[in-house]
Amino acid sequence: MRLLLFNLATDAADPILGFTSRWIASLAARVESVDVITMRAGLVDLPGNVRVYSIGKERGYTRGRRAAMFYRHLTHILRQHRVDVAFSHMAPIFTVMAGPVLRPRGIPVVTWYAHRQLTATLRLAHHLSSRMVSINPASYPYRHDKLTCIGHGIDTTLFEPAEVAPAGPPLLLSVGRLSPIKDPLTLVRAVALLRERGHDVRCVLVGDAPERDRAFARQLREDVRAMGLDGVVHFTGALPYEAVGHWYRRCFAHVNGSPADHALDKAGLEAMACAKPSLSSTLAFRETMGHRADHLIFRHGDPADLADKLMALLAFSPAELAGIGRELRARLVEMHDLEGVADKLLAVFAGAITPGRGGDGA
């Protein structure tokens, strides 16, 4: 199978999208070749059967020039190589741009989308795609007639448990951009409550704010100072993707404050892969958490409820916590391991090439 892949960023060091390089490598191990057209490229560390074509966002190209580069690369690939199937990863705009070119050639498009936002572009991408794939039914906001749910694709070899339990005060961790939608302030307030109750907890926030949320991030830092948490709450800024595992292994628990109706947050799953309790206010985590969900799901925006859930975890013995971590990792591997997701994607690709085959729709 020869795969054409559309990607937003192909950069192994990217703090947010670095994981896509591992997806590409996993798929490349299962197919003859992969041609990647990406919005931007950075550190490219991929197998020899992968070719990467950037449309130039990292070079500051205008939107019009990027569109021209997209069609230039697409035309070159179609002339030079046979393409059996196209896979558009979180890039419905690329599905829309490529669909009218690929359809007359009989090349099916499979589009991955996992977000609660429903746009006109996504509706059109759905129409132009042979199959849609997502994490679970709650992660896809449009019609499910073409949908196959395959899990999230977490690299459980990169994100694995620590060999030795971390020393020092319990460390609460949140990995993700500093944005209102992630609600890091609820975690900071819960830290203040726990310390008032006599628990010497610390907190690390890994991530940076996009330009639109710079004012929010400044206010968050001011709130930390106003609560007297300087030296307790630490901001690392954005880190290379592969460096984040150190903090998962170092932490006592990971906290994700996204809204209840949000899609599964990748960072929360990565923490579970490292055998750490992962608390969230997003209800989509319930299935992965299993019977631990009532202990790990807190009310969105409620620092007191989060503090209560964390206090309950702090009361467990190290052996009990290790058992919870092993249980969460086992469920994560079963439902979201990258290798399993790559196998499921190949089945979806095969079904798109030969109608009637592939995974079950949701």
Mean pLDDT within 304-324: 96
pTM for the model stands at 0.92
Residue 165 lies in a domain: no
Whether residue 23 is found in the same domain as residue 63: yes
Q: What pLDDT is stored for residue 227 in this prediction? A: 97
Going from the C-alpha of 348 to that of each of 130, 147, 272, the distances in angstroms are: 10, 10, 27
Whether residue 325 is found in the same domain as residue 189: yes
Beta strands in the chain (DSSP E): 2-10, 33-41, 50-54, 85-89, 109-112, 131-134, 147-149, 171-175, 202-206, 233-237, 253-256, 278-280
For residues 322 and 362, the model is more confident at 322
Structure token digits, residue 321: 């916590």
Q: Residue 132 is which amino acid?
A: M
Residue 360 lies in a domain: no
Whether residue 113 is found in the same domain as residue 143: yes
Q: What pLDDT is stored for residue 164 in this prediction? A: 81
Helix (H, G, I), strand (E, B) or coil at 242: helix
Q: Residue 205 is which amino acid?
A: L
- The per-residue pLDDT for range 147-184, each reduced to its tens digit, is 999 999 999 999 999 988 788 899 999 999 999 999 99
For residues 355 and 95, the model is more confident at 95
Residue 160 lies in a domain: no
Q: What pLDDT is stored for residue 358 in this prediction? A: 40
Q: What angle do CA 9, 12, 18 make, to 5 degrees?
A: 60
Q: What pLDDT is stored for residue 166 in this prediction? A: 83
Mean pLDDT within 245-268: 95
Q: What pLDDT is stored for residue 355 in this prediction? A: 66
Residue 161 lies in a domain: no
Whether residue 305 is found in the same domain as residue 342: no
Give percent of the chain with pLDDT exceeding 90: 93
The domain that holds 312 is classified in CATH as 3.40.50.2000
Contacts of 32 (CB under 8 A, 6+ apart): 1, 2, 49
End-to-end CA distance of the chain: 26
Helix (H, G, I), strand (E, B) or coil at 341: helix
Q: What pLDDT is stored for residue 361 in this prediction? A: 40
Mean pLDDT within 190-208: 97
Residue 15 lies in a domain: yes
Mean pLDDT within 229-245: 95
- The per-residue pLDDT for range 26-82, each reduced to its tens digit, is 999 999 999 999 999 999 999 999 999 999 999 999 999 999 999 999 999 999 989
Whether residue 51 is found in the same domain as residue 197: no
Helix (H, G, I), strand (E, B) or coil at 357: strand
Residue 49 lies in a domain: yes
Residue 358 lies in a domain: no
Residue 146 near residue 123 (C-beta atoms within 8 A): no
Whether residue 31 is found in the same domain as residue 62: yes
Mean pLDDT of the chain: 95
Q: Is the pLDDT of residue 185 over 90?
A: yes
Please classify residue 44 by burial: count the beta carbons closer than 10 Å to its beta carbon, then call 0-12 exposed, 13-18 middle and 19+ buried: middle
Q: How many domains does the chain have?
A: 2
Q: Residue 53 is which amino acid?
A: Y
Domain that holds residue 216: 171-336
Whether residue 211 is found in the same domain as residue 149: no
Contacts of 232 (CB under 8 A, 6+ apart): 191, 195, 201, 202, 203
Q: Closest Cα to residue 16, out of 210, 149, 184?
A: 210
Mean pLDDT within 230-246: 95
Whether residue 105 is found in the same domain as residue 182: no
Whether residue 138 is found in the same domain as residue 243: no
DSSP string covering 198-214 = T---EEEEEB---GGGH
Whether residue 124 is found in the same domain as residue 244: no
Whether residue 61 is found in the same domain as residue 189: no
Q: What pLDDT is stored for residue 359 in this prediction? A: 40
Residue 74 lies in a domain: yes
Whether residue 39 is found in the same domain as residue 52: yes
For residues 315 and 168, the model is more confident at 315
